[in-house]
Structure 1
C-alpha cells in the first residue's frame, strides 16, 4: 500500500531539488560577478583614499587620480556612476564636508571663511559660498556666526 503523504512529500522534494539545481547553476555564474564587484569595491576604496590624501590640492582632477591609482578616468567615472554620482561631484562633496567641519569647529574660530575655503581647495570664494549654501542651506558666514 502506498502512503498518500509520500506522494505529497515526493512532489515537495522534486520542487526542492529543482530549486537547488537552479541555485547551483547560478553559483557557477556568480563567482565571477562577485569577484568583479569585490575588485570594483577595492578599486573604488583606493580612489577614495587617494582623494582624501589629496583633498586640499586644488589641482586634483580625474586624470591625475587615474594616473595615481591606475584605472582610466572613464573606468573611474563608471565606478562612481554605480554610486549615482561623478568622481568630481564626490571630490566637491568631500571638500564641502571638510570646510563645513572647519567652520563649525571652535578651533578654527580665528580663521576667515576665505582661508578655510582656500585650504579646502576652493580658489573662488563666490563659487564656494554658492555651493556651500546649496549643500547646507546656510551661507558659510552665517554658519560661522551661529557657532
Structure 2
C-alpha cells in the first residue's frame, strides 16, 4: 500500500491499495486502519482484491479518518482492547453504503447521511455492506474529550445521534462541514469546529451535559448549517431567507438574527458569494468560451445591468475588464 505523508500538514496521512498486488491489498488495508483507528481485526468477505483508500487528518487532539472500501467486517476483540494504550469513541458519518454497529447487545444501523457513535473500550462489530464501494468519515474522539462534556455518572451506549429531534440535523451538518473543510482549513479552525461537533454530540447523549457549552454550540452549529444551506442553493435566482430557514428548520427571523450577529445581512451574504463565484469563473481558463452573461445567469443573477453595477462596486472594474485582467 502506498503511503503518502503531506508536507503541509504534519498530522495528515493517506494510504491507497491501488499500487499493491490484489492478493496483498487487504493485508495492507488492515495495517492502515490499525494505524489510524487503533488495534482492530478486519475480516474480508472474500479473498479477491480489496481496493481501498484511508486518509487521516488531525483535528487538534482528535482526527478524522476518511475511508473508502468494499463491504467487509471489522471487529474489536478483547485482545485488540488489551493491546491499545489509549481509548476513544468513534463518531461515524456514513457517506455511501450501509453499516451496522453491534456493541453491548445493541445494533445501530447507519445509512448515508446518518451519524452513529460507539466506544473503543468495548467489544464491537462493524458490518459494512450494500454497494461495491462504501465510504465513511470516522471521527476519532479521545475518550476524555467527550467524557469531559458529559455528567460524571453518564453510562455510554452506542447510539445514532443523527436521530436526535433537537440537534440531530445540526450534528449531521457540522460533521459534513468538517469532513469537507478539514483538508483545506487551518489546524486551529478544524479543532474549533471539532469542539462544536463534540458539544452537540454530548447534548444529544445527555440533556444534563455541560450547560455552559450548550448555547454557543447550538448557535455556531446552526450558523454552519445555515451557510451550507445557502451555498447549496446559491445559484437559484429566487433564493430567499424563508427558503434557507426552511432548509435548516429555523424561523426566517432567526436567519436574519444569525446574519446580523455575523455583521452582515442575508441579501449581502448571497450577493457577495454570487459575485465571488462569477469572478472565479471569469478568471478560469476553462470558462473562456462562455459568455459573461451566461455565467452571471448561472450564479442566480436575473438582471445583467444590476449584475454589472454590483460587480463593479465589488471589484472596482467591469466584468469584461476583470476577465482580461
TM over 0.5: yes
1:70-109 aligned at under 5 Å gives the runs 70-109=249-288
CA deviations on 1:30-77 (whole Å, 9 max, x unpaired) are: x64542121111011111111111111111101111112111111111
Match of 1:69 among 248, 262, 284: 248
Find the aligned partners of 1:45 and 1:84 in 2 and give their Cα distance: 15
Find the aligned partners of 1:109 and 1:59 in 2 and give their Cα distance: 27
Find the aligned partners of 2:263 and 2:227 in 1 and give their Cα distance: 15
Find the aligned partners of 1:32 and 1:103 in 2 and give their Cα distance: 48
Using structure 2 for the length normalisation, give the TM-score: 0.35
Residue 54 in structure 1 maps to residue 233 in structure 2: yes
Q: Higher relative contact order by CA 8 Å / sep ≥ 6: 1 or 2?
A: 1
| Corresponding residue for residue 318 of structure 2 | 139
Find the aligned partners of 1:33 and 1:141 in 2 and give their Cα distance: 52
Aligned-residue offset at 1:87: 1.3
Find the aligned partners of 1:128 and 1:33 in 2 and give their Cα distance: 45
Find the aligned partners of 1:59 and 1:83 in 2 and give their Cα distance: 23
Find the aligned partners of 2:248 and 2:217 in 1 and give their Cα distance: 17
Structure with bigger gyration radius: 1
Which protein is richer in strand relative to its size? Answer: 2
| Corresponding residue for residue 8 of structure 1 | none
| Corresponding residue for residue 298 of structure 2 | 119
- Unmatched runs of 5 consecutive residues or more in structure 1: 1-30
Q: Secondary structure at the match of 1:121?
A: coil
| Corresponding residue for residue 217 of structure 2 | 38
Off by >4 Å, runs of 4+ in structure 1: none
Query: What is the aligned residue count?
Result: 116
| Corresponding residue for residue 27 of structure 1 | none
Change (3 A) 1:33 1:77: farther
Which protein is richer in helix relative to its size? Answer: 1
Find the aligned partners of 2:242 and 2:212 in 1 and give their Cα distance: 27
